[in-house]
A and B are shown apart, each in its own frame.
Chain A
Amino acid sequence: MSTAMNAEILSVSGLTRVFGGLTAVRDVDLSVRAGEVVGLIGPNGAGKTTLFNMLGGSLPPSAGRIRFDGADCTGLPSHAMGQRGVSRTFQITSVFPSLSTLDNVRSAAYRTTKAGWGAAVFRTAAYRNEEADLHRRAMENLAFCDLDHRADVLADALSYGEQRRLEIAIALAAQPRLLLLDEPAAGMNPEEGQRLVEMIRRIRARGVTVLLVEHHMRVVAAVCDRLFVLDHGVKIAEGPPSQVLNDPEVIRVYLGRETVDA
């Protein structure tokens, strides 16, 4: 890990995305330090997922800069961001449906494995060691997400809550530096939400920086060091949760406008 704790790992300046006549994200600045858990909140349509898609490389920004780990990553495609250590989950559950839970996690280790087709043909020592290591790491990862007892089950056959945990296991299998979680608690009951809070804390303890979009205020308040608030694509507040969630402007645009299951 080349970035020291508390050094800036992600910095975004003037990030803008225009869809036709609609500016989904306007001139947003934000920074995340290594080891932090940072929350991104805002009402529906505020541009959170658009911002996430730009950070993950699946959507090129219209203007602005993204720096990750000291290097300019503006406009890099998704796989290049993945290779640099930015993993993400998706708002709509996204797994490899017809593979087993274990194979889902094994397939996700592309970034951290090397032995390719040729090595597999000749069954080189490097290949055999890597496969054994891959299997061990995948099982550890499943255990981390409490899915090890479901290793042989097809991802399609998992329950919704299990699939959401599998998504996190997949993202972690890439051994990311920065993990982008898009509404991980969506559709979860309070008990599952609490479990997720504990899981995010353990992810942070592993040294992974986390940026999450979330609607569940209880989850956000419990795990985030800092929050950014977006409204109509513009950043309207940032700071520690206690301060941001009591900000009258935030309450007006967000908390006051829709029911929050906090």
Chain B
Amino acid sequence: MSTHTTAPTGGTAAGVPGGIPGGTLGLAGGALLLGVLPFLAGNAYLEHLLVLWMLYALLALSLNIIIGYLGELSFGHAAFVGVGAYTSAILSTQLGLPPLIGLPLAGIVAALFGLVIGYAALRVVGPQFAILTLGFGSILYTVTNHWVDLTRGPMGISNIPPLSLGPITFAEARETYYLVLALVLIVAFLCHALVNSRTGRAFIAVRENAPLAASLGVNVFHTKLLGFVVATAIAGVGGAIYAHYIKVITPDIMGVHNVAALIIVVVVGGRGTIAGPILGALVYIGLLESLRVAGPLRMVVFAALLTGTVVFLPGGLVSLWSRWRGPRHAEGGAK
């Protein structure tokens, strides 16, 4: 894969700021390859996997803002994915709203949930914050499971119409792939701009040393809340696209396996980097499918992968690249 050649992270890989970011050529090459992938795939099954890869990449990029840049572990991210998915699904199936309006609304509703939950949970840090997000996530899951009038409970919502934009309907895997790919590239660029801005440097300063960041004028709570809300908004949009693509959603989308999946993708790929979550999503989807015969045992493989990464490769798979290039390029990534 060529995506891991870009690795613009919370540092100064580009050298002189204000110039053309380093690896622009690699970035263009990577985008081009991603653009022709569906034609190389050749069958609907592989195209479907490509969509899942991009969806997980999008969701992982959003979670990476919390885990990688702010340095807090959230066990609640899947709940915001679910909020976005249900918002758009309910609006389109019950109110008949065009999914294209539902998509931004899904982001806004998820961000509102993120604002309220973040406002409460970001008062504490570290393990306490992680536990609180787990609690809030479980509450959202339980409410979704039991508020049958609105969500149809465990039966889920089916017959969700596909997204459409004018004459284009994103019913098939190939169209959806391009839609999500575009979003992944946009979010990747937004993350790149973030870490090269005053705002993103404040995020990373808070992650590295919150008391020191505060003494330099950074409002730690507001900074974290901003990152959390942006991350949940992106998660909501990702969830909505998932709902319109798969056409059926159940409360399982908020379940613990999805929470774990997103964390595994971010950590195994490389937290605090942009290529990491995209690469991690590829590894996750690839293993998920190729180990399908192993059934539930796959979870053991993923657990081992996560543990092994944390112990032996704390910077994730992308850090192999910087190790190979030399220690000078190890930057901004995980602690």
Cβ-defined contact, A117 with B199, below 8 A = yes
The docked-state distance in angstroms from the alpha carbon of A225 to that of B203 is 39
Check: B325 CB closer than 8 A to any chain A CB.
no
Residues in A with CB closer than 8 Å to B330 are 154
In contact, B331 and A103 (Cβ under 8 angstroms): yes
| A117 touching B197, Cβ below 8 Å | yes
Within the assembled complex, what's the spacing in Å between the Cα atoms of A131 and B201? 12
Tell me if B216 and A96 are in contact (CB < 8 A): no
Contact at B211–A58, with CB atoms within 8 Å? yes
Contact (Cβ within 8 A) A103 B209: no
Q: Residue A99 contacts which of B11, B193, B198 (CB distance < 8 angstroms)?
A: B11
B288 close to chain A: CB less than 8 A: no
Q: A82-B218, A97-B335 are in contact. Are A121 and B190 (CB under 8 A)?
A: yes
When chains A and B are docked, how far (Å) is the Cα of A87 from the Cα of B214? 10
Is A152 in the interface zone, CB < 8 Å from B?
yes
- Asked if B204 CB lies within 8 Å of chain A CBs, one says yes
Task: Tell me whether A77 is interfacial, beta carbon within 8 Å.
Answer: yes
| B5 within 8 A of partner (CB) | no
Instruction: Say yes or no: is A62 at the interface (Cβ < 8 Å to chain B).
Output: no
CB <8 Å contact, A120 and B197: yes
| Interface flag for A132 (CB, 8 Å) | yes
Contact A134 B212, beta carbon cutoff 8 Å: no
Q: Is the CB of A94 within 8 A of B209?
A: yes
Interface assignment of A20: CB less than 8 Å from any CB of chain B: no
CB contact between B17 and one of A82, A97, A131 (< 8 Å): that residue: A131
Report B-chain residues with C-beta under 8 Å of the C-beta of A144: none
Q: Which of A82, A95, A98, A170 has the most CB of B within 10 A?
A: A98
B167 at the interface (CB under 8 A from A): no
* Residue B215 lies at the interface, judged by CB distance under 8 Å to chain A: yes
Q: Digitize A137-170: 1 where CB-to-B-CB distance is under 8 Å, 0 elsewhere.
A: 0000000000000001010000000000000001
Taking the closest CB of chain B, its distance from the CB of A124, in whole angstroms, is 11
Q: Is A100 an interface residue (CB 8 A)?
A: yes
Chain A nearest CB: distance from B307 CB in Å? 21
Given contacts A97-B208, A110-B205, contact A117 B200 (CB under 8 A): yes
Residues from chain B with a CB closer than 8 A to the CB of A119 are 197
Q: Are B216 and A170 in contact (CB under 8 A)?
A: yes
* A90, B212: Cβ atoms closer than 8 Å: yes
A110-B201, A120-B196, A128-B18 given; A100·B11 CB < 8 A:
yes
- Tell whether A202 is near chain B: CB-to-CB under 8 Å: no
Q: With A79-B219, A99-B11, A174-B217 known to touch, is A110 a contact of B202 (CB < 8 Å)?
A: yes
Q: Please name the residue on chain A nearest to B205 by beta carbon.
A: A107
Closest partner residue, chain A, to B219 (CB atom)? A79
Q: Does B16 contact A (CB under 8 A)?
A: yes
Report whether B205 and A98 are in contact in the complex, using a CB–CB cutoff of 8 Å: no
Query: Number of contacts between A and B (CB, 8 Å)?
Result: 131
Does B333 reach chain A (CB closer than 8 Å)?
yes
Nearest residue (CB) in A for B195 is A120
A223: which B residues are within 8 A, CB to CB?
A: none
- A113 contacts partner chain B, Cβ-Cβ < 8 Å: yes
Point out the residues of chain B lying under 8 angstroms from A57, CB to CB.
214-215
Q: Provide the residues of chain B in CB contact with A83, threshold 8 Å.
A: 217
Q: Which residue of B lies closest to A56 (CB)?
A: B215
Which single member of A78, A96, A129 contacts B209 (CB below 8 Å)? A96
B205 contacts which of A77, A81, A96, A123 (Cβ < 8 Å)? A96
With a cutoff of 8 Å between Cβ atoms, the chain A residues found around residue B18 in the complex are 128-129, 131-132, 135
**CA of A173 to CA of B200 in the docked complex: distance in angstroms?**
17
B306 → A minimal CB distance (Å): 20
Beta-carbon contacts under 8 Å, A46-91 to B: 56-58, 77-79, 81-83, 87-88, 90
Contact residues in B for A90 (Cβ distance below 8 Å): 211-212
* B214 partner residues in chain A, CB cutoff 8 A: 57-58, 77-79, 82
A116 at the interface (CB under 8 A from B): yes
Say whether A108 faces chain B, with CB atoms less than 8 Å apart. yes
List B contacts of A107 (CB < 8 A). 201-202, 204-205, 208, 213, 216
Mark B214-231 against chain A: 1 for CB-CB distance below 8 A, else 0.
111111100000000000
Tell me how far the C-beta of A86 lies from the nearest C-beta in chain B, rounded to whole angstroms: 8
Chain A residues with Cβ below 8 Å from B328 are: 152
Docked-complex contact B216 and A108, CB < 8 angstroms: yes
B11 to chain A, nearest CB (A): 5
List of B residues within 8 angstroms of A204 by Cβ: none
Which chain B residue has the least Cβ–Cβ distance from A108?
Answer: B216
A96 and B194 contact, Cβ closer than 8 Å, known pairs A79-B217, A79-B218, A79-B219 = no
Question: With a CB–CB cut-off of 8 A, which chain A residues contact B11?
Answer: 99-100, 103
Question: If A108-B216, A113-B198, A115-B197 touch, does A134 touch B17 (CB 8 Å cutoff)?
Answer: yes
Cross-chain pairs A/B with CB under 8 angstroms, 20 sampled: A79-B220, A81-B215, A83-B217, A96-B205, A98-B208, A106-B12, A107-B201, A107-B205, A107-B216, A110-B202, A110-B213, A110-B218, A116-B199, A117-B190, A120-B193, A135-B16, A135-B17, A154-B330, A173-B216, A174-B217
Which A positions have Cβ atoms within 8 angstroms of B?
56-58, 77-79, 81-83, 87-88, 90, 94-100, 102-103, 106-111, 113-117, 119-121, 123, 127-129, 131-132, 134-135, 152, 154, 170-171, 173-174
Given contacts A96-B208, A152-B328, A174-B217, 7 further A-B contacts (CB under 8 A): A58-B211, A58-B215, A78-B214, A87-B215, A99-B11, A107-B208, A135-B16
